Structure 1
Amino acid sequence: MTLIDSAMRTRIRQELARIEHEENVRILYACESGSRAWGFPSRDSDYDVRFLYVHEPDWYLSVFDRRDVIERPIDDLLDVSGWDLRKALRLFRKSNPPLLEWMQSPIVYVERTEAADEIRSLGGPAFSPKACTFHYLHMARGNYRDYLQGEYVKSKKYFYVLRPLLACAWIERFGEMPPMAFDTLKELLPPGELRTAVDRLLERKKSGIELKEEPRIEVVNQYLENQISYFEHAAAQMASSGEPVDDRLDPLFRSVLRSAWEER
């Protein structure tokens, strides 16, 4: 697990408290996303803080659509953004992988009310192998196209293709949401030259060495190309959805909305 020092945790919680005050919202859950949660931050990695929140009940009683995302300008260290709980639950119906990942982040800054636990409990039954595989495949394909095509590539970008493809492989094998930790996912790699190359790259990244442009690693590139091609066909054959949970989302939303503001 990636550790966050107490000074940084304090700064992040202060920023979340400032957002609550400025936006007049109640933050229900906040966690780390991205490389720190995945277990392979670089020395210069920023903090990707993601959160769920609710407005006061009357905010939702409007004939007008309102902005359901809060974002703060990204600085050298902090990238902070969040979703309104109603938006999050609408996306949850579609088995949204970023939201499902947030719910299993190993680094949690805030957790209030039953919202996160309820979403976690529904995540298994509602999980859609097809939707999540297509999400990860799209991510892998885009990153591979943008960063790993030349003779020289940014080596750290290998992880941003490897991880989503290994997530696809996990879904295919186990039929469930893949774990956050890259160390767990990489156990799906076959032993031999490929695994050795990935282990060496991971060791360098975890040591804090900045992975800059280097000659492409052919054994890894070949694996990535093969996996992208394979899942472009395999994803379409996967199950479309899990159990319907629509009838549980409105009661969850109302319950959380009440309890979030009763605590104040």
Structure 2
Amino acid sequence: MNAMERHIQEELQRIEREEGVRIVYACESGSRAWGFPSKDSDYDVRFLYVRPVEWYLSIYERRDVIERPISDLLDFSGWDVRKALGLFRKSNPPLLEWLQSPTVYMEQYGFADQIRALSPLSFSPKSCMYHYLHMAKGNYRVYLQGEQVKIKKYFYVLRPILACAWIEANGTVPPIAFDELVEAMLSTEAALYGAVQELLARKKSGEELDLEPRLQVINDYLEDRIAYYEEAAKHQPAVEVDQDEQLDQLFRSAVATVWGTK
């Protein structure tokens, strides 16, 4: 464990003390988890937590998110497990990504493994494809129009578009690693694959990627795929498995296990 990982774990323990919660899972999200961080990339720490049983037995709706201001490249944000399970029920892509992050800072009480076991049953190709398509369209519109573009933003359009391609081809949760998506979905497109790999090598080397002339081969691909998936998403299966009883039980079990109320 390196110094930053130790520091992150210390901060997670501080959050537990200050908020009176227990963190059951914490991981890296964003560009570091996806495999293309810059030298100044934030550490996007995402976590799931459980509060004492009395907090849930209230007539009031309470805030179910914990956030800390970004400081020293550290960005902490967490969801209460009840919120997380409600989003999991809707096949929430960010949560599904967190659960397969390659960098886990904290995992205890068995909650993450239990929810992972339910993931294949709850995955909805339609809702997840729409999520990634919306992300791609927004980033493309904001950052990649015109002759000069913010070159590093290509990754934030390519990754969701490749996730759409993975969903269409496999019907499963897309891998979190950008390299894996590129190899699986672009390796037969020689010119495009080469352009993406060259850009990826530049980013991984720590080179500053700012405004540059747009990469037409990538723009052409993105425009074509955005238009394609706007139609293809309509025809993806919308999996709706009744897991309410299982998720309720998982929630109750998490609270009881963490706080010793069994």
Q: Is 1:46 aligned to residue 42 of structure 2? A: yes
Of 96, 103, 115, 2:99 maps to 103
Q: How many angstroms does 1:242 deviate by?
A: 4.5
Distance 2:55 2:241 in 1: 31
Among residues 59, 66, 80, which one is paired with 2:62 in the alignment? 66
5 Å-filtered alignment, 1:246-261, equals: 246-261=244-259
Equivalent-residue separation in structure 2 for 1:141 and 1:75 (angstroms):
30
Match of 1:201 in 2: 199
Root-mean-square deviation (CA), in Å?
A: 1.1
2:143 match: 147
SS of the aligned residue for 1:243 comes to: coil
Q: Secondary structure at the match of 2:77?
A: strand
User: Aligned match of 1:245 in 232, 243, 246?
Assistant: 243
Question: After superposition, what is the alpha-carbon deviation per residue over 1:120-174, rounded to whole angstroms, capped at 9, x for unaligned?
Answer: 1101011000000000000000000000002111111000000000000000000
Measure, in 2, the Cα distance between the counterparts of 1:242 and 1:201: 39
Deviation at 1:191, TM superposition (A): 2.5
Q: Which runs of 4+ in 1 moved over 3 A?
A: none
How much does 1:115 deviate? 1.1
Question: In the TM superposition, what is the alpha-carbon distance from 1:106 to its structure 2 partner?
Answer: 0.4
Distance in 2, matches of 1:14 and 1:150, equals 45
Aligned partner letter, 2:5: R
Distance 2:240 2:190 in 1: 36
Which residue is 1:225 aligned to? 223
Q: Which of the residues 34, 37, 43 maps onto 2:33?
A: 37
CA distance in 1: counterparts of 2:189 and 2:61, whole angstroms: 52
Shift of 1:114: 1.7
Q: 1: distance between equivalents of 2:198 and 2:110?
A: 41
Corresponding residue of 1:130 = 126
Distance in 2 between residues matched to 1:98 and 1:19, nearest whole Å: 22
After TM superposition, the score normalised by the length of structure 1 is 0.96
Give the letter for the 1:248 counterpart.
Q
Structure 2 residue runs of 5 or longer lacking an equivalent are none
Equivalent residues, number: 259
- Residues in 2 aligned to 1:132 and 1:110: alpha-carbon distance in whole angstroms: 26
Query: Could you tell me how far 1:22 is from its partner in structure 2?
Result: 0.5
The AA in structure 1 aligned to 2:143 is Y
Unaligned residue ranges in structure 1 (runs of 5+): none
CA distance in 1, matches of 2:258, 2:135: 34
Amino acid at match of 2:212: E
Deviation at 1:262, TM superposition (A): 2.6
Normalised to the residue count of structure 2, the TM-score between the two structures is 0.97
Q: Distance in 2 between matches of 1:261 and 1:11?
A: 25
